[in-house]
Structure 1
């Protein structure tokens, strides 16, 4: 890499430079090259430092001006940054205290399954959870700092109090409407049965087709109302936690869905691990969640397919897996799968009936059990649903 040329001009006519002069010039050239290179590096470092300071100043300005509290911690979970909103919310001094986050923030500001969250974050996975501070509800998003390795984490808190209140009002309106619709719907179905008997006695095929169509729509409406009322009931949580047996949950699935699977030529198989632990919760609620997942798996698996239900001990809890050979779920739809009234519009599911509330009910029930539910899926290769709940003997349940 040529940095320049050293030129020596001598006033002595026809006088050649000696080897000693040449060596001296080579030494001078080498030292000059080092000096020039260092100077260029220094200029570049100064320029990058200035750019970094400007970027840091701009970032500080943005973070300080936002109303959202922002916190950052290093690998040792010591606080390294807090914007003005975070300082005010958590009453942090200036300069920032050197305590770790678990000792610095109130216990209710940390995720419920704190150690599991830390394990996920160390694997460079983001995490979100809700916290309530005073009368304000925040959605806390935690992201990893660093590219090749974890250098720390940043948390941003969004005030969702108003959204939660709107959601509560919406749920209350839906609940009241569902209650108001239940009785007239039952009356309509009873009258339809009488009409159906009358039409059958006259043998009018066209009228019979219309009656069956009405019956089908009323049954769909009834499923939606029943789903909403089920959501309302499980949304109240679990009043009394009792020891639940995973084997009974598997038995409930077989009792309710074996006939349905046989009708669809689906092989419904179960695998129960050795010495599977019990878990704390509501047996009836949990059974309903597992039945909903398996029923969905059967619905979305083509004839002659397979659905397997497995359970085993896993990480101080009980893990259920529902594996199917169905059509799979596109990646862009997977984040919406547990939303209320969500129904995928992918090709091949047009004929599948449902209210769009089954998996929303599953999510609520598993949350009630302090567990987790997630899925892995690929279009054309089937889906695996995972449900994890803490074992009855785990430390998380003894507190």
Structure 2
């Protein structure tokens, strides 16, 4: 039975009891009027009794009606207040409505007591809303940080099900971010060493770390750390344990370490070879009893040649170090390509005149101007031509051509030499690197020319690239900017 029904019947009972008391009281009064000293006749008392009964019946009816109306009004108002409280609590439990609608002071309608309850509830909601906003903001900030950190971060449970991963993790593992949540990491990534480290962390409940090469297209080398979390909370069962996986791509670091190691090895070799020759020739010269004058003269020439080579090697190393460290000062100016051609042709003319090798320029417009450091771009062209000569047969052809684009000029140094295997194209600009093709490793040179050329072009803010076919030749391209709109002499 509801509160409203109980209230109505209670009010009705009170009204009926009150009317019954009145009826009994009036009956006693009428009975008294028949006795002395009043001695009213019986018909009079009966008539009086009949009239009073009718009046009382009307009064009872009106009283009952008013009691019912009053009870209904009170019950309705009280019930509405209770329904408001019920709706408020249900909304909070189900979180179906925004909290803001529960925070106004007139939340619950009704009597003064309910208004006071409404005030307290609105304050409670306001406090709860403030705490909830703070919690949400904190969670959003943590999510934002995790999503944007460079380290790949992933959260799994003890069954290896992925519960969270930032974009860096999905990119590193080369998996779909939208369809991976809820799947087993072992089903998505087949790197056995990665799986073994995670299993070891689950079994020992201790942090594990190692380096792993992923078994995917990139074959990235990553520094991996797996950390068990929630393990210190005894109230949580083992099934609640989570495992945080943090991965950092160190492929470039390992590659740089390999390049450094190769550089030390190659530099040591390049320095040791001429020094050994100089030492041998010097020891022979010191032995006055060995060798004729002509032979001794040849040794002196070879010592001089090796000294020149060492000087060039050290000079190239210093120049390359200066360029890579950003210490190279570029002096830009508008200059004619024809002036560069004249200077370079004069430099190589003695060499080409003594050989059957063809050397040609292909410049559509001699008045074409470029905005560069002319000395450094001349060095780039000299290094590229010199490298082409080393790998081209004596009867081959070397050409320098120019192509005009909207904002740039493209230089192409092409030869008909031995060519470069595709697997080695990415490494030809590395210091001391030489193509492993036939007798190419016996070709003289410091092995730094292409590396210096590359960094000079990059210092100009441009790009350099190479195309080659084994047995057909090689073309090296680099871009420079066209002249600036300034008044030229």
- Normalising by structure 2, we get a TM-score of 0.41
Q: Which of these two proteins has the greater Rg computed from alpha carbons? A: 2
Greater percentage in helix: 2
Higher RCO (CA 8 Å, separation ≥ 6 residues): 1
- Normalising by structure 1, we get a TM-score of 0.50
